[in-house]
Structure 1
Amino acid sequence: MSLKLGDTFPNYKFQTTQGEFNFHDWLGDSWAILFSHPADYTPVCTTELGAVAKQAEDFKKLGVKLIGYSIDTVSSHEGWIKDIEHYNGLACGKFPYPIIAGSRKQAADLGMLDPDEVDKAGLPVTARCVFVLKDKKLKLSLLYPATTGRNIAELLRVVKSLQLTMEKKVATPANWQPGDKCMVIPSIKDDEAKKLFPKGFETAKLPSEKAYIRLTPDPSS
């Protein structure tokens, strides 16, 4: 059951480092990022979870809840958090988000397992999945192999893009950053675009003479 964009995330009952809860109850109507890691007490994961913790306030300002996931136990997570805090220079005892102690079946159902990386028992470990959710639905997913760490700044960037493009009738081009020009979506006619974007828009001149690239200042700025 690999999730597709627009699918509702299953309402699993999760055991976590911050107690047991039904996922939908914890999520509410908020934005959220659920990200999986291969295993506790592993090097790349220790840097990743620490990097997310360091930027937890930046996600909070965007209204984004954070939650980690692997198929290790709660007690394993709790012990490992001390290493994460120490290695990344975090304040001890104030880890800012829960980590789920998931099941292998859940991980398989969600398409999280990495067939090329196995644990000591020879079983596939959890890949580095990222699920960005809003209204309990999948809005964006990223999938990294176990050997490649994620870029946390990119997760912040894509959330900002998603939030902007859900609110305004624009798209964001490659390498977009907040404040950069956005693109008027093709379904908007010029007359409507003039009303929607009072700062105006410019149309790129192309060899095809088709007017499908229209740039407008970031409407959130």
Structure 2
Amino acid sequence: MSLRINDVAPDFTAETTQGTIHFHEWIGDNWAILFSHPKDFTPVCTTELGVVAALQGEFNKRGVKVLGLSVDAVGDHTRWASDIQDVGGHPVKYPLIGDPELKVAKLYDMLPASAGDTSVGRTPADNFPVRTVFVVGPDKRIKLTLAYPMATGRNFDEILRAIDSLQLTVKHKVSTPANWKQGDEIIISGAVSNEDADKLFPGYKTVKPYLRTAAQPK
């Protein structure tokens, strides 16, 4: 099953470092980020989980729940969390899914059905596709996916920037241009007539007939 933007994020029940969760129920009316890892005690992933721990307040401000996944058992995650805090300087307060039977990794099309049904004996190289970020909206649909190779650490500032854009464009009839960040000008949706744009975005600029910009809505 290939997952695409706007597909319903597959629901699942899993054991985590904070108990059993039912994914859709756990999301509730919030946004969520699910980010995956090929193995515990791997160097790049250790730094990533530490950065997310440091950014927990930023995700909270945006109403985004954070959920990690690694292809190992919950008990391993608990021991790994100590290393993550040592390296990153912040405790891991978000749940980490234990996926020793590879069920969630397969459900989210990060491993093929032929991968077997146990993480035992598998190396990070065996699990290298389990390096994806999924941003899921309150409607339980996938809003964004990002996949990274094992040797390239994820940029969580970019992930926060993308979430800012997603949340803004859901609330207003706008898009965000390349390299947009909070406070920058936005692009007015093509579905908005010039007459309506005058009311909604007074003082907007017409760069091209198909490209109108304005200050970011409050």
Equivalents in 2 of 1:83, 1:122: separation in Å?
21
Q: TM-score, normalised by structure 1?
A: 0.89
Structure 2 residue 132 is the aligned partner of structure 1 residue 129: yes
- The residue matched to 2:49 in structure 1 has which SS? helix
Going from structure 1 to structure 2, the CA distance change for 1:168 and 1:111 (only over 3 Å counts) comes to same
Code of the residue aligned with 1:137 in structure 2: it is: R
Query: Segments of 4+ in structure 1 off by > 6 A?
Result: none
Query: Given the alignment, which residue of 95, 99, 102 partners 2:96?
Result: 99
Q: Quote the sequence identity (%).
A: 47
Residues 39 and 126 of structure 1 are in contact (CA less than 8 Å); yes or no, is this contact kept in structure 2?
no
1:18 and 1:121 map into 2 onto residues whose CA distance is 24
Matches within 5 A, 1:182-197: 182-197=186-201
- Residue of structure 1 equivalent to 2:19: 19
Per-residue deviation at 1:138?
0.6
Note if contact 1:35-1:129 (Cα within 8 Å) is conserved in structure 2: yes
Task: Tell me: CA distance 1:43–1:163, structure 2 relative to 1, closer, same or farther (3 Å).
Answer: same
Q: Is it true that 1:202 corresponds to 2:211 in the alignment? A: no
Distance 1:148 1:2 in 2: 23
Check whether the contact 2:34–2:67 (CA below 8 A) recurs between aligned residues. yes
Residues in 1 aligned to 2:156 and 2:191: alpha-carbon distance in whole angstroms: 32
Match among 165, 173, 181 for residue 177 of structure 1: 181
Alignment of 1:1-221 (within 5 A): 1-90=1-90, 94-102=91-99, 103-113=101-111, 119-120=122-123, 123-134=126-137, 135-198=139-202, 200-204=203-207, 211-220=209-218
Q: CA RMSD in A?
A: 1.8
- Taking the aligned partners of 1:161 and 1:202, their CA distance within structure 2 comes to 20
Q: Which moved more, 1:143-152 or 1:100-109?
A: 100-109
Q: Could you state the TM-score of these two structures normalised by the residue count of structure 2?
A: 0.90
Q: CA deviation at 1:197?
A: 1.4
Q: What is the one-letter code of the residue matched to 2:212?
A: R
Unaligned runs of 5+ in 1: 205-209
User: Within 1, Cα distance between the matches of 2:127 and 2:52?
Assistant: 24
Gaps of 5+ in 2: 113-120
